[in-house]
Amino acid sequence: MKGHRLRALVIKESRELIRDPITVALAVIMPLIMLFLFGYAVNLDVERVALGIYDLDNTPASRALTARFDSSRYFQLQQKSADLHDLDSAMQSSTIKMGVVIPAGFARQLLRDESAPVQVIVDGGYPVLARLASAYAEAVIGNFPAPRQAAIRVRARVWFNPSLRSVNFVVPGLFAVILMAFPPLLTALAIVREKETGTIEQIYASPVTSGEFIVGKLVPYGLVAFLEILMVIAVGFAWFQVPMTGSPALLLVSAFVYVLTTVGIGLLVSSLVRTQLAAMLITLIVTLMPSFLFSGFLFPLFTMPLGLQLYSRLFPAGDFMEISRGVVLKSAGLEAVMPHLVMLIIYTVLIFIFAAWRMRQKVV
Amino acid sequence: MPAAEPIVAEGLGRHFGDKIAIDPLDVSVDRGQRVGIVGADGAGKTTLLQMLAGILDPTEGECRVLGFDTRQGAKRIAARIGYMSQGFTLYDRLSVKENLTFAARIRDVPDKLYRERSEQLLSMAGLGRFTDRPAAKLSGGMRKKLSLCTNLVHEPELLILDEPGLGVDPLSRRHLWAMLDRFQAQGITTVVATSYMDEAERCDRILLLEQGRVLADGTLEELLRDVAGRVFTVHAENAGRGLRELSGILAKIESVHSVQWLPDHLRLVVKTDIAKNRLSESSPKSLHVAAVEPRLEDLFVLRTERMTGEQQFLELSRQDRGKGEGLGVNGLSVRFGHFKAVDRVSFDAPAGELLALLGPNGAGKTTLIRALCGLVAIDEGSARVAGLSPGAGSAALRRQIGYMSQRFSLYLELTPSENLRFFANAYGLAGGAARTAIDWARGVTGLTDLPDKLTRDLSNALRQRLALACSLLHRPRVLFLDEPTSGVDPVARYRFWRVIRELAASGMTVVVTTHYLEEAAYCDRLALMLDGRLLAHGGRASLNHSLGLDAGATVEALFTAAIEQAGTANSRALVP
């Protein structure tokens, strides 16, 4: 590597980037759009489940149970059905997700201190919701009319995200997804554009080495990506009010290493393909999709079959996901995140070696 | 270190999959020589140059450039040569100065030397006043000159240029060659690929390339010696009828190699002397056969193995065309944002005229044609095409015009006959009417037997005639052909022009754009365009006269004079 050549490349690349306001604007706006979109859309909290009640008893007691459901924040009374058929069709048309049938004689059996049966019908079409809703329903019914004494009392305490707000878990996860999606998209176009216009032939036919060329691209695009990090993290904390329990410096340093990896992936794709369209599609497929599916962003990795767990190790998003959530939610320190950080560094080095090797200085 | 030979190639060859781009060849180039590599598009010129520059590895043989092997020593070679590729070699968003600085820095030019050279180079290229202008806002000629500067700034020993004159106006082309002459005087070795015969003639040595093989190698004089006595012109007293009668006679003479149909005479290349005798015997007395000086293109035609002879086409009569108006354009402008692609252009072309629209790439030719076809909105001025004014989506206009675009818009996944049927249906012809139209269009274009394979597998020449046939199906009154001859070898071009002349003779108005200036010889009148403006319009003789040139001046000289008269326009007019 020669200093003056590298400097010339970095200056040229930065000038081109700065004079392309559309690209810069996209680099700033797209991650924010995604952050807002997913920050609001991905909500794993189950609340206000639409409820239908078929009350055959129709006594003060049965009405009190209905009111108990309705006043719970997990349920919302959608309709009172006149017969079972009505309940069935409401369930089919998804106007209700859960039906509660209170049989005749419910109040009488309660008064006699007998156990009174109540039927809860749940729409199993979306299993996670069904499981949560039926558990909530059991809790509501179990505490009616008054909480009962049990032999063993369980006192569960939630660590790290005591309010169980899913946004606290989604936003740090989004850092990993967004930084995997956009920085590589920008860089993937960087080399291919020169291939398409033909300017790359001048680079080939000059003393510039592939290492110099790659680093020359990396520096300005890496800086843009770092700006993206700062912006996404700042907005994530300020707007979504995610509590930051760990060290912001550790998060930033890890994010920087992570972005080098993702920018490197973009450069690698760019060095392999010939057209900007192909570069964009391939980048989306190798970055965005796995970072959603195989990073533990929404689906925990340990529940996957072993083969897929191994496959998920191919993508660095999972490592940064652990770091990000660890630092933000669990105030994880350097020691805790070290294994993941080392993985990211190894990953980055490999990507760059591969990209520089693939970036053969030949036309074909 | 003893100076190594600039280029020594032994058995150098390259194939891409099954396709042979360069058949193994041996070439060596002496120091200080200027070698021209001449061939049609697709002959393998670029592949050869890329291998010489070390940016494409050969699949056969080896090549040493300035003493270094092109496979292993590519970076050492790169430091010592200049390679100017055909396409864009500049960064649009960087200024003239920034582009040059970048080129110098990555080629390890010390700052002090750079400062001296950059000033000298930019003033030589006439770019001294434009150092801060972004490359995107330079004209085609200025871009090429700047590209050349970026490849000269490290004072290379060897300069490899891929079609430097392509898409450049004649005046800039002259400047470009003046720069090259100066550097050659300093002992620089040059290899230049070109499809311009006049550029080839400026070279010390010419390599004629066709389908990856070297057809000829030598100085211009040596090459032309081979063709001497094989080129004839035939003039007839009655140019129209007299020459057409000759077609039948020519078709019977086997050793007639190619026939070029020009407005008032024919130009023949014959294989053997017998052909000449037979021609004199069998032609009517009213014809005058004369031997003429051969050109490089004649050698090219003769060395091409495909012997085509004279082909007969369906004869057109005046009845094939209804009478009608031709074309009238009045102060027409087309803008794209702040960019005036066509700037107040006015001309006319009566019915039956063959008009050549000439100009370098980016002159506005294609935009003008698209505006006349109603494909681009006209911002100012007006036009009449076959008596109608072009407006967006005018179905009536579309029935009167034929348009063959630059990249022939055929469906590559269909066979030729499927393409013809599709276009016939698209023009509202069905059943018997479609069959009649297709047979007629095939006859006119000489597509008697259509191969039963996909259009993508056809040669460029065949695709060209197929595209023409498709644009003729509805018998348009005005026919627009946008760069119809690019990528097609000379013999196929001769034949194509013959068809075009026939169409015009039958009363069709034909407008042809081309950047091969010599093709203007086929046309009745010329319209010269540069930077969106019409520089001159008229018959060749009258234009020569009005610009104070000899009657025999080349179109090149004519165009150059027209640019000089219009004042050196270095950049496109921008809307304030």
Q: What is the pLDDT of residues B362-400, one digit of tens each?
A: 788 989 999 998 888 899 999 999 888 887 567 888 888
Task: Please give the class, per CATH, of domain B225-303.
Answer: alpha beta
Identify whether A315 is part of a domain: yes
Instruction: Tell me, rounded to whole angstroms, the distance of Cα A213 from its chain centroid.
Output: 34
CB A16 within 8 A of CB B92: no
- Provide the domain limits for residue A121: 49-142
Query: What CATH number should be reported for the domain whose range is B318-408+460-566?
Result: 3.40.50.300
CB A217 within 8 A of CB A269: no
- Output the pLDDT for position B228: 85
- Output the pLDDT for position B576: 30
Chain A residues touching residue B50 (CB < 8 angstroms): 201, 363
Q: Which amino acid is at B159?
A: L
Indicate the residue of A198, A205, A207 with minimum beta-carbon distance to B108.
A207
Q: Which tens digits make up the pLDDT trace of B320-365?
A: 455 567 899 999 999 988 888 999 999 999 988 999 999 887 788 9
Average pLDDT over residues A1-28: 88
Q: How far apart are CA B341 and CA B361, in angstroms?
A: 12
Nearest chain B CA: its distance from A211 CA (Å): 13
Domain spans of chain B? 7-218, 225-303, 318-408+460-566
| φ, ψ (nearest 5 deg) of residue B216 | -155, 155
A3 contact B CB<8A: no
Instruction: Tell me, rounded to whole angstroms, the distance of Cα B41 from its chain centroid.
Output: 9
B207 has a pLDDT exceeding 80: yes
Q: How far apart are CA B81 and CA B189, in angstroms?
A: 10
Average pLDDT over residues A260-289: 90
Chain B residues touching residue A207 (CB < 8 angstroms): 75, 78-79, 106-108
ipTM of the complex, rounded to two decimals: 0.77
- Output the pLDDT for position B493: 85
Q: Given A93, A109, A142, which residue is the final one in a domain? A: A142
A361 contact B CB<8A: yes
Indicate the residue of B78, B90, B101 with minimum beta-carbon distance to A206.
B78
Instruction: Tell me, rounded to whole angstroms, the distance of Cα A200 from its chain centroid.
Output: 37
Give every CB contact of residue B316 below 8 A, 6+ residues apart in sequence: B444, B502, B503, B505, B506
Chain A residues touching residue B94 (CB < 8 angstroms): 12, 15-16
A64 contact B CB<8A: no
Please tell me which residue of chain A has the smallest CA distance to B76.
A207
- Output the pLDDT for position A1: 66
A209 contact B CB<8A: yes
A225 and A96 within one domain: no
Do B7-218 and B318-408+460-566 have matching folds? yes
Question: C-alpha distances in angstroms, B473 versus B429, B441, B459, B467?
Answer: 9, 6, 21, 10
Q: Which tens digits make up the pLDDT trace of B414-457?
A: 999 999 999 999 888 888 999 999 998 998 888 877 888 898 88
Give the neighbor-by-neighbor strand order of the sheet with B287-291: B256-261, B265-270, B231-236, B287-291
Average pLDDT over residues B75-97: 91
Q: Given A142, A173, A206, which residue is the final one in a domain? A: A142
Q: How far apart are CA B14 and CA B25, in angstroms?
A: 10
Q: How far apart are CA A103 and CA A115, in angstroms?
A: 12
Q: Which of B410, B438, B409 is nearest to B425 (CA)?
A: B438
A328 and A206 within one domain: yes
- Output the pLDDT for position B575: 33
User: To the nearest whole number, what is the mean pLDDT of chain B?
Assistant: 86
Give every CB contact of residue B9 below 8 A, 6+ residues apart in sequence: B25, B26, B27, B28, B51, B52, B61, B62, B63, B64
Q: Mark yes or no for CB contact A206/B54 under 8 Å.
A: no
Average pLDDT over residues A237-254: 89
For A197, the enclosing helix (H) or strand (E) is helix A167-197
Which residue of A7, A206, A217 is the best one to mutate when testing the B interface, meaning the one whose CB has the most B CBs within 10 A?
A: A206
CB B256 within 8 A of CB B301: no
Give A 116-135 residues with CB within 8 A of chain B.
none
**What percent of chain A is modeled with pLDDT above 70?**
98
Please tell me which residue of chain A has the smallest CA distance to B75.
A207
Average pLDDT over residues B51-73: 93
Q: Mark yes or no for CB contact A201/B101 under 8 Å.
A: no
- Please give the residue that has the higher pLDDT: either A340 or B87: A340
Q: Which of A195, A255, A222, A191 is nearest to A27 (CA)?
A: A222
Nearest chain A CA: its distance from B91 CA (Å): 7
Within B125-202, residue ranges assigned H as helices are 140-152, 170-185, 197-200
User: To the nearest whole number, what is the mean pLDDT of chain A?
Assistant: 87
Indicate the residue of B75, B102, B150 with minimum beta-carbon distance to A207.
B75
CB B208 within 8 A of CB B300: yes
Instruction: Tell me, rounded to whole angstroms, the distance of Cα A72 from its chain centroid.
Output: 29
A78 and A215 within one domain: no
Chain A residues touching residue B44 (CB < 8 angstroms): none
Chain B residues touching residue A274 (CB < 8 angstroms): none
Give the neighbor-by-neighbor strand order of the sheet with B7-16: B19-29, B7-16, B60-65, B68-69
B316 pLDDT band (50/70/90 cuts)? low
CATH code, A59: 3.40.1710.10
3-state secondary structure of A216: helix
A253 and A225 within one domain: yes
- Output the pLDDT for position B572: 41
Q: Which of A275, A228, A289, A262 is nearest to A27 (CA)?
A: A228
3-state secondary structure of A275: coil
- Output the pLDDT for position A333: 87
Q: Are strands B205-210 and B213-218 parallel, antiparallel or unpaired?
A: antiparallel
For B331, the enclosing helix (H) or strand (E) is strand B327-336
Rounded to the nearest 5 percent, the helix, strand and coil shares of chain B are 40, 25, 35
**What percent of chain B is modeled with pLDDT above 70?**
91
Nearest chain A CA: its distance from B87 CA (Å): 6
Identify whether A147 is part of a domain: no
Chain A residues touching residue B93 (CB < 8 angstroms): 15-16, 19-20
B147 has a pLDDT exceeding 90: yes
Q: Mark yes or no for CB contact A205/B57 under 8 Å.
A: no
- Output the pLDDT for position B278: 72
Return the beta strands (E) in B17-93 as ranges. 19-29, 34-38, 60-65, 68-69, 81-84
Q: How far apart are CA A299 and CA A170, in angstroms?
A: 11
| φ, ψ (nearest 5 deg) of residue A178 | -65, -40
Nearest chain B CA: its distance from A355 CA (Å): 18
Q: Mark yes or no for CB contact A16/B101 under 8 Å.
A: no
A21 contact B CB<8A: no
Question: C-alpha distances in angstroms, A300 versus A56, A233, A236, A321?
Answer: 42, 23, 22, 11
- Output the pLDDT for position B89: 84
Q: Mark yes or no for CB contact A202/B79 under 8 Å.
A: no
Q: Which tens digits make up the pLDDT trace of A200-241?
A: 988 999 999 888 998 899 899 988 888 888 999 999 889 988
Chain A residues touching residue B88 (CB < 8 angstroms): 197-199
Q: For residue A280, what are its two tokens?
A: 């964009």
Range picked from A142-146, A213-217, A355-359, B254-258 for highest mean pLDDT: A213-217
- Output the pLDDT for position B573: 38
- Output the pLDDT for position B51: 95
Does the domain at residues B7-218 carry the CATH identifier 3.40.50.300?
Answer: yes
Q: For residue B203, what are its two tokens?
A: 């070279």
Q: Mark yes or no for CB contact A201/B83 under 8 Å.
A: yes
Give A 178-197 residues with CB within 8 A of chain B.
197
Q: Which tens digits make up the pLDDT trace of A20-65?
A: 888 888 888 889 998 999 888 877 778 888 999 999 988 998 899 9
Sign of the C-alpha dihedral computed for residues B474, B475, B479 and B483 taken in this order: positive
CB B552 within 8 A of CB B382: no
A219 and A293 within one domain: yes
Q: How far apart are CA A193 and CA A199, in angstroms?
A: 9
Which residue of B16, B52, B105, B107 is the best one to mutate when testing the A interface, meaning the one whose CB has the most A CBs within 10 A?
A: B105
Q: Mark yes or no for CB contact A206/B103 under 8 Å.
A: yes
* Widest distance between CA atoms in chain B: 78
Q: Mark yes or no for CB contact A15/B98 under 8 Å.
A: yes
CB B51 within 8 A of CB B37: no
A351 and A246 within one domain: yes
Q: How many domains does chain A have?
A: 2
Question: C-alpha distances in angstroms, B328 versus A194, B340, B383?
Answer: 42, 20, 6
Q: Which residue numbers of B have CB closer than 8 Å to A's CBs?
A: 16, 50, 53-57, 74-75, 78-79, 81, 83, 85-94, 98, 101-103, 105-108, 134, 150
Long-range contacts of B183-187 (CB under 8 A, 24+ apart): B183/B152, B183/B159, B184/B32, B184/B34, B187/B31, B187/B32
Identify whether A363 is part of a domain: no
Q: For residue A14, what are its two tokens?
A: 């930065």
Which of A333-347, B67-81, B265-279, B520-534 is the least confident region? B265-279
A282 and A255 within one domain: yes
CB B186 within 8 A of CB B286: no
Indicate the residue of B74, B81, B106 with minimum beta-carbon distance to A5.
B106
**Taking the model in full, what pTM does it have?**
0.81
Q: Are strands B213-218 and B478-482 parallel, antiparallel or unpaired?
A: unpaired
- Output the pLDDT for position B256: 79
Q: For residue B155, what are its two tokens?
A: 């004072």
Which residue of B55, B90, B118, B133 is the best one to mutate when testing the A interface, meaning the one whose CB has the most A CBs within 10 A?
A: B55
A105 and A60 within one domain: yes
b/e sequence A243-270, b meaning 16+ C-beta within 10 Å: eeebeeebbeebbebbbbbbbbbbbbbb
B574 has a pLDDT exceeding 50: no
**What number of C-beta contacts closer than 8 Å exist between A and B?**
85
Chain B residues touching residue A204 (CB < 8 angstroms): 55, 78
- Output the pLDDT for position A166: 80
A321 and A172 within one domain: yes
Nearest chain B CA: its distance from A223 CA (Å): 20
B97 has a pLDDT exceeding 90: yes
B569 has a pLDDT exceeding 50: no
- Output the pLDDT for position B301: 82
- Please give the residue that has the higher pLDDT: either A148 or B296: B296
Which of A150-164, A291-305, B67-81, B292-306 is the least confident region? A150-164
| CA-derived radius of gyration, chain B | 25
B524 has a pLDDT exceeding 50: yes
Q: Mark yes or no for CB contact A203/B87 under 8 Å.
A: no
DSSP conformation class of A30: H
Return the beta strands (E) in B168-304 as ranges. 189-194, 205-210, 213-218, 231-236, 256-261, 265-270, 287-291
Give every CB contact of residue B486 below 8 A, 6+ residues apart in sequence: B41, B406, B514, B515, B516
Average pLDDT over residues A6-24: 91
Indicate the residue of B91, B101, B107 with minimum beta-carbon distance to A199.
B91
A8 contact B CB<8A: yes
Which residue of A17, A199, A201, A274 is the best one to mutate when testing the B interface, meaning the one whose CB has the most B CBs within 10 A?
A: A201
